[in-house]
Each structure stands twice: as structure tokens, then as C-alpha cells.
Structure 1
């Protein structure tokens, strides 16, 4: 396992054994964005007793107000740990200012556009360099949105991406008050003054979110808003994406509802794609929620094995998928 890179400065800042797993944390300094202070923490999970074992790489992107612990707990529980035990080479980045990633100089101005244009390509390039294989990408919530932005903006794509899985991800749910210019303008002004939104204060998660991300989302939902940046229309760009795709919604998700997740799925032009809604009507034991779709005992029993099956064979319909969504189209 390399502890350096020919791409940009990289340091191995931690190498620990966590039960049967190894946890190596790298600090990446890509230096590819206008803010030269950006540093990204990237954790690799592997089998402690087989350190040289090199499975298929999988990159897991956390959502808003979150960090690497969404994918695996200190006790080694989570989808990331499960996939590592299944033999996959698991990589868990933390976005700017989250978890072990230090806050950059322009932290308050961070946007999904920055993550998509600069950070994800650097992370993907490093993983490919280290593993000598093309990685699969899985994103939850804002992590999935960032992945969609990178794909629609052509910052990521074939042949650097093996497949894409989006969980609880959508960009179409409309907040009608934001269509009123005065409301949107007032919201932007307030967020700029705050600089960040506290996840703990608003009971959204363990991390804060920079104001820039929130302002960006408000712009998407504004009167003439669209999913894009400047002249780049990410939404239109998604129609040109041709990668194996899995999109998963949860029947009980009030934040990113099924209909909106399905709309994003239908916009992506992949030849091989599957859609799955986690709910009782689809044969699951419960109507999963936004977080519970990946972090719960039910997810451990019903969802995680489906993810592993998808990663091993993205062309075969998943058991339990709705008939119209499971078919390869």
C-alpha cells in the first residue's frame, strides 16, 4: 500500500487496527482549487489480517451535517465496515470542514460546485492510483447530490467511474417560499451573516454545514433556479451520463421523497440502471426513513446485502425491486 502519491501531497496521518478491520487515514492536499488551504481526509477500510488484499474499490460519500461515521461506527458497524468484510476496498472521504478534514480558509463559501469540480476528481484519482482499479461510487443525500453534480458537469465519468449508486438523493423537491425573490434574498443575507448552520443546534447531525452550500441550494430552488453552476446545466448533463446506475429511495423519507428521487433517476441517461424504493409495498419489512435506509438494523439485514450484490453485478436486477424499476432499461 502506497503512503504517498505522484499526484499531489499526501500524508498518512493515522494507521489503526479496529477489531478485524484496518483503518488508514490519509490527508490529501490536491491544490487544484482557488482556495489553496483545502485539505481532505480520506479513510481506507480493509481487513486487518490481510493488509495486502486488494478488492474492488468503493468510495462512500456522506450527506449533509455528517462525516465518515455515517458509514462505519467506532465499533466497526456500518455499510462501510460490512463492505470491507465482504472483500471490497472501501474509501470514505470527508468533505471540506467535516470530520477529520480541516476547515479551509474560505469554509463559509464552500459549495457543492467546489466539491464536484475539484474535490471528487482528486479523491477519485488518488483511489485509482492507490488501488490500480476503477472505483464504484456511492452517495447518500448531499453526497449523492454532489456525485450527480460531478457527473452532470462532466467532472467525473467513464472510464474513471465503474458505477454509481444514489441513496435518498433528489434535486426537484420545491420549497415554494423560495420562489418569492424577497424571501430568497433575505435567506441568503441571513446565511451569509451566520457563515454556517449548526447540525447539533438544529438536530440534523454531528457536523456544521457552510453557508455557501445552503445558499447554493436556495439558488437551485429560486424563481429561475436550476441544478447547475454558471453556464453549466448539470441537470441537462445528466442525460448524457452512461454508467451503471442504482438509485434508491425510502418510502418513509420526508426529506427526499420517493417521487423526487425517481425524477432524478429518470433524468440520468444510463443504459443500465435500476430503481429501488425501500418500503412495505416493495416487500421490505418497513417504510425506511432518510437515515434508516442505510443506518439501522433493518438496513443491515435487508439493504446492505443488496448493495454488495449490486457492486458485484450491476446488470442483474436486485431482489425486492419494483418490477418497473428493477428491470435493466
Structure 2
């Protein structure tokens, strides 16, 4: 690997957020913060063998930080009956703390997968003073509502996420997604409950205090942005839902790309393979590194 890795922890309130830092052998002066989606952690972006978008960017000279949200990954403590965490806390405290911490040396690029794109947009809309600290925003399969109707939606969203998930939270005190094998990591109970109204298509307002994110987004001067969806993403980041999210937030002024053979890419990607497939390194990862370097 043409980079080295180490772990750091950022204290926020009574918990600590884990950051995996990837340090390039030949820095190009750009710093990147990566944010993961629901029922996963930052390892969607990297591993110790040099695979993943974070490792690719580090090899291209970018200094990369992959964050684990509170209760996930190596953040301390882990989600449990004794440690809960809300979506409001992530939007109002954690994401701003991460951005401010990493921009002490200058603006940073922000990369988000899936639901992280939603909470990131909400954080910037709610704290517009953060926007000048951001060089660019890059999202993968980010949507707020799931409108597509299919058997996958009925099973994975209507039954597992919206019904089984809250029941498991009552029993365990958190969402044991890893134990029940429908996610790469567990979730704090309140965070799961907070996502359900937005996924159903209810108003883009904070269920904790009523803050109107939809209205705030209309007045935001967004940084340069690029948004990717995958042609085989049938549910968690369906292209039509990604486009609806971009239109709702005003991010549709940025660039949009559909990853599939018909649009010139090496395979028809899905929600996970757009970040993990071996072909991605010589496919869209190259384009992304070039784009980020020009922002």
C-alpha cells in the first residue's frame, strides 16, 4: 500500500467517535471525510489490505478520514441498552464536530454513502456556517424516502426496518442488525426510530424539535457536488429516489451519474458494489479522484 493507516478518537459529549486515518506517502494537499450509512460502519470505505475507495484515494495522495458514527464500528461505547443515540444528535453535534475538527488545517471534501448523505445534507442546512469549510460533497446512493414499490420494499423496509426493527429495539435496547444478519453493524434504538418517518415520505423536518430541513436547504449555497446512483440498486438507493432527494434539497444543481454498462461503466453496480467491486478502482474511482483534485 502507498499509504499507512492509524486510528484516532474524537470526544463528543460523553462518547468518542472513531476515525480511521489514511495517510498518503505523497500528500496532494486535499483532505477527505467519509461518512457511512445505516446498519454499517466506516469499513465500507477501506480495509487493511488496501481495498476500498478510501485506500484508493490515499494512494492518489488524499489524506482520508473514515468516521464511525456513535455506537458503530470502533466508536466508544458500542450501541447497547445503556448507550442510545439519536439522529438529531448526529446532525447537530457529531457531524459538525467532525467537520470542525478536520478543517482546522483548511476545507475538506465530504463523501457519504446511502443515509449518510441525508444526515449530512441536514447538518449543513441546519449549520450553514459549516459550508465554507467544505470543498465538495460526493454521495453514493443517497435518498431520503423510499418510494419504489416491490417485494423487496415490502420485506426489507415495511416488515424488517419499520416493524421488526422497533420490536427488536424494545427487546434488546438497540437494533442487533449484525446478530440478526441484515446489516454490517448494529444501530442505537433511537436512531432507527428517527429514520422511519423520513423513509416513509413524511416531511423533511426534525422529529426531535421540528426544524424544517427542506426549507433550510432552499436557502443554502451548496458546495460543488457529485451524486452517484447504481443501475442495479433496486431499493436502498434507487435512482428515482436519489433524484427525488437531490431535487428536494437543491443538490440537483450538482452532477449526477448512473453507474451501469449502458452509461459506459464496466458493470451494472448496486448499492454496495459501487464502493466495493474490484472494477470500481479502474472505473469510477479514477474519475472521482480526478474530480476531487480539481475542486
Quote the residue 2:38 is aligned against: 64
1:228-243 correspondence runs (5 A): 228-229=205-206, 230-242=209-221, 243=223
Query: 1:244–1:271: 8 Å Cα contact kept in structure 2?
Result: no
Post-superposition Cα deviations, 1:122-145, rounded to whole Å, max 9, x if no partner, equal 11111112xx11001000012222
Match of 2:233 in 1: 253
1:226 Cα deviation (Å)? 1.9
TM-score by length of 2: 0.85
Equivalent residues of 2:19, 2:66 under 8 A apart:
yes
- Given that 1:251 and 1:258 are in contact with CA atoms closer than 8 Å, whether structure 2 keeps it comes out as yes
For residue 136 of structure 2, what is the aligned residue in structure 1? 163
Match of 2:84? Answer: 109
Q: From 111, 118, 133, give the equivalent of 2:106.
A: 133
Aligned to 1:42: 19
| 2:120 aligned with 1:151 | no
Distance 1:156 1:61 in 2: 20
Q: CA deviation at 1:69?
A: 1.8
Tell me if 1:274 matches 2:228.
Answer: no
Deviations 1:256-293 (A, max 9, x none): 20000011112233595101111222222322100001
**Mapped contact 2:85–2:188 kept (Cα < 8 A):** yes
- TM-score, with length taken from structure 1: 0.77
Q: Structure 1: where are the runs of 5+ without partners?
A: 1-18, 32-36, 315-329
Q: Could you list the runs of 5+ residues in structure 2 that have no partner in the other structure?
A: 148-152
| 1:116 Cα deviation from its structure 2 partner | 1.3
Distance of 2:138 and 2:129 partners within structure 1: 14
How far is the alpha carbon of 1:184 from its aligned partner?
Answer: 6.8
**Structure 2 match to 1:215:** 193
Tell me, yes or no, if structure 1 residue 203 matches structure 2 residue 181: yes
The count of residues paired between Structure 1 and Structure 2 equals 281
Going from structure 1 to structure 2, the CA distance change for 1:155 and 1:43 (only over 3 Å counts) comes to: farther
**Which residue of 1 is the match for residue 53 of structure 2?**
79
Residue matched to 2:150: none
Return the offset for 1:108.
Answer: 5.2
Residue 306 (structure 1) aligned to one of 267, 287, 290? 287
Give the number of the structure whose alpha-carbon radius of gyration is greater: 1
Which of the pair has the greater relative contact order for Cα pairs under 8 Å at 6+ separation?
Answer: 2
Structure (1 or 2) with the greater helix fraction: 2
SS at match of 2:274: coil
Residue 170 of structure 1: CA displacement?
0.3
How far the C-alpha of 1:194 sits from its partner, in A, is: 3.2
SS in 1 for 2:15: coil
Q: Hey, what does 1:14 align to over in structure 2?
A: none
Structure 2 residue aligned with 1:287, among 256, 263, 268? 268
- Distance in 1 (CA, whole Å) between partners of 2:204 and 2:117 is 13
Mapped partners of 1:101, 1:23: distance in 2:
17
Contact 1:244 1:270 in 2 (8 A): no
**Structure 2 residue matching 1:42: 3-state secondary structure:** strand
Output the CA distance in 1 between the equivalents of 2:42 and 2:100: 19
Determine the C-alpha separation between the residues in 2 that align with 1:109 and 1:152. Answer: 24
Moved more, 305-314 or 153-162: 153-162
